[in-house]
Amino acid sequence: MQSLTKNKALESSWITMQDSVKTVSFMGIPVVKVAIWDQKVKSLLGGVLPHRGVLFLKDAVQIWNDTDTEDAVMDFWYDKTTDKNYLRIRYKMGVGYFDGALVTVGY
């Protein structure tokens, strides 16, 4: 797969067709747009340094939740009128990294 840094001569080297979808890569690593980051950066920083990039190893990020605490609530019930089962779960979830050496941020 071509990368952004290896061949800057042609636009086609920046965009690789993969499964009939145009994708951009950086040194073989797919570049993925995260639209919510753009919204947050714009709202929090007023357009100052509007671009962000985060490069991390696939296993460097952890997702956690608090389902084993008293704050987490799970409620399950059956409604005879609608003949449906209902499930409501309330918990907190977060994302974090466990080794800063595995994460690079650019702005």
The DSSP annotation for 67-78 comes to: TTSTT-EEEEEE
The pLDDT score that the predictor gives to residue 84 is 96
- Cα separation, 66 vs 50, in Å, equals 33
User: Confidence class of residue 78 from pLDDT cuts 50, 70 and 90?
Assistant: very high
The two three-digit tokens of residue 22, written as one number: 């145009």
pTM of the predicted model as reported, rounded to 2 decimal places: 0.44
The pLDDT score that the predictor gives to residue 1 is 40
Tokens 């209902």 appear where? 86
Tokens 């570049």 appear where? 31
Q: What percent of the chain has pLDDT over 90?
A: 11
pLDDT at 104 over 70: yes
pLDDT at 81 over 90: yes
